[in-house]
């Protein structure tokens, strides 16, 4: 009988402890940071959110400084790329995996700078900005901050956007900002997909995503601003 009650006590303790750690785990978001590449064997699942931070908005002139990844589990994996490093095999493996959707906000820029830097082609891709432009025709505000506020009631700060991403050590504010740009893209995509289906625009959205590598090639090969489809 004594042994029995001891077992019961242990069981209770186990249940209390495991619930506690689950709750902590549930709310605990971690920003992992690395230099120059992701560690080996990090799995992100079938859809991986990706973003970059750079020295500016010209993918040919400006240095790629940071690449962020998230599987949508609340954790962000942030890789700082030091100057003159252009080989990151684990990153390139994920970006070129034909079975992984690379999920961006304004994919055109990120694909261009990643293609130019690593000499790789990135597909398949999904762009939340294109999806937004196809369904949120009632507004011209398609920035990530606006989208997250309207669709997910999440407020993110854009204060660090134009900070020095080439710094040797990133600040805590920069790391948190970099993480916030990938952490919510999966939920955002789910919401945008509902609206794309509702408005019967999923097919044209997918066609746009598939065209992105061509649009990027035009950007890098000398037609960044020209619309080659226009008459003039």
Interacting residues with Mn ion (CB under 5 A): 51, 181
What sign does the CA torsion over 142, 146, 152, 158 have?
positive
Give the shortest CB-14-to-Mn ion separation in angstroms: 42
Q: Which residue is nearest to Mn ion (CB)?
A: 181
Structure tokens at 164: 């020095």
Give the shortest CB-181-to-Mn ion separation in angstroms: 4
- DSSP annotation of 157: -
- Helix pair 185-198, 202-220: axis angle to 10 deg: 120
Tokens 């398949």 belong to residue: 124
Nearer to Mn ion, 94 or 196 (CB): 94
Nearer to Mn ion, 67 or 151 (CB): 67
Give the shortest CB-123-to-Mn ion separation in angstroms: 21
Nearer to Mn ion, 51 or 219 (CB): 51
* Separation CA 159–CA 148 (nearest Å): 16
Give the shortest CB-51-to-Mn ion separation in angstroms: 4
Give the shortest CB-5-to-Mn ion separation in angstroms: 56
Nearer to Mn ion, 88 or 180 (CB): 180
* Separation CA 192–CA 187 (nearest Å): 9
* Separation CA 167–CA 161 (nearest Å): 14
Give the shortest CB-95-to-Mn ion separation in angstroms: 16
Using DSSP, state whether 68 is helix, strand or coil: strand
Nearer to Mn ion, 163 or 195 (CB): 163
Nearer to Mn ion, 67 or 196 (CB): 67
- DSSP annotation of 126: E
Element (H, E) at 77: strand 76-80
């Amino acid at each position: 009988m004594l042994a029995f009650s001891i077992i019961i006590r242990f069981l209770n303790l186990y249940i209390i402890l495991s619930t506690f750690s689950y709750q902590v785990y549930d709310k605990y978001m971690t920003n992992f940071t690395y230099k120059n590449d992701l560690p080996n064997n990090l799995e992100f699942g079938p859809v991986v959110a990706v973003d970059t931070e750079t020295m500016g908005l010209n993918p040919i002139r400006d240095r790629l400084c940071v690449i962020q990844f998230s599987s949508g589990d609340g954790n962000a994996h942030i890789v700082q790329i030091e100057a003159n490093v252009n080989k990151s095999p684990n990153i390139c493996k994920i970006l070129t995996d034909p079975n992984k959707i690379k999920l961006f906000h304004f994919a055109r820029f990120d694909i261009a700078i990643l293609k130019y830097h690593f000499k790789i082609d990135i597909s398949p891709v999904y762009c939340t900005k294109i999806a937004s432009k196809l369904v949120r025709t009632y507004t011209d505000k398609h920035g990530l901050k606006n989208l997250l506020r309207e669709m997910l009631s999440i407020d993110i700060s854009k204060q660090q956007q134009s900070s020095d991403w080439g710094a040797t050590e990133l600040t805590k504010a920069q790391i948190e900002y970099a993480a916030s740009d990938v952490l919510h893209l999966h939920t955002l995509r789910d919401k945008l997909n509902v609206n794309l289906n509702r408005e019967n625009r999923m097919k044209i959205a997918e066609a746009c995503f598939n065209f992105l590598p061509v649009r990027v090639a035009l950007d890098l090969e000398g037609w960044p601003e020209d619309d080659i489809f226009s008459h003039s």
